[in-house]
Amino acid sequence: MSQQTAIDEKGQKTIADYVGDSLALEGHIEEALDRQLASTKDDPTAGPAVQRFHDMVKANKEALKAHQEVVGSTVGNPVVEFGANVLGKAAGLIDKMRAEGISKILRDDYTAFNMAAISYTMLHATALALGDQRTATVAATALRGHASAIQEINHIIADVVIRELQKDDHTLADPMAAAKNREAVDSIWKETDKANGSMSI
């Protein structure tokens, strides 16, 4: 039995606005990741990761496009245009490839993925509140993808940073610092998890 319930016109428009904004954000992130593929392809850690990130974002974008056929589109609506503009500027953090190293690319990806994650969290809450289980499911799937990418960056960033330090002639850079960093970061995230893993989507 479907959990989808009837949604009034106002609720339908709100859902459509949110879906449109999320689609715009994924599009901006995908464009930046397109450029990052070439910049990171020779790095043994970041290269495969960025490819996975790109595939995840592209899949999310395609799923949102398909879902937009269900919920409708509010193209030309000032709310959508404003939201897409704001999200696009924020995603622009990863839009410029600076000669500061691959670690900075991953840092900017981390920022964009967190923005996408909170956007999908909001969409999920909105969809549940308005009785749109299909949209909630789409949001939850996309959220898992970004959350996984964020966790992966947490685990690989130290390796990339240390490799860059070594390339920059920091001969005393401790290669064991990567493992120590991962252990500390994992511990900090667990310590500060107020939900204690009790909430399930």
pLDDT for 58-117, tens place per residue? 999 999 999 998 887 665 444 445 445 555 555 555 444 444 589 999 999 999 999 999
Amino acid code (one letter) for 131: G
Q: Quick check: 34 and 54 in contact, CB under 8 A? A: yes
Q: What is the pTM of this model?
A: 0.82
Q: Please report the DSSP string for 69-117 in residue order.
A: HHH---TT-HHHHHHHHHHHHHHGGGSS--TT-HHHHHHHHHHHHHHHH
Q: What is the pLDDT of residue 8?
A: 81
Could you tell me how many residues make up the chain? 201
pLDDT for 5-51, tens place per residue? 567 888 888 999 999 999 999 999 999 999 999 999 999 999 999 99
> Which domains does the chain possess?
9-151 (1.20.1260.10)
Higher per-residue pLDDT: 92 or 174? 174
Kindly tell me the sign of the dihedral angle through the C-alpha atoms of 100, 102, 107, 113. Answer: positive
Amino acid code (one letter) for 70: V
Q: Quick check: 130 and 105 in contact, CB under 8 A? A: no
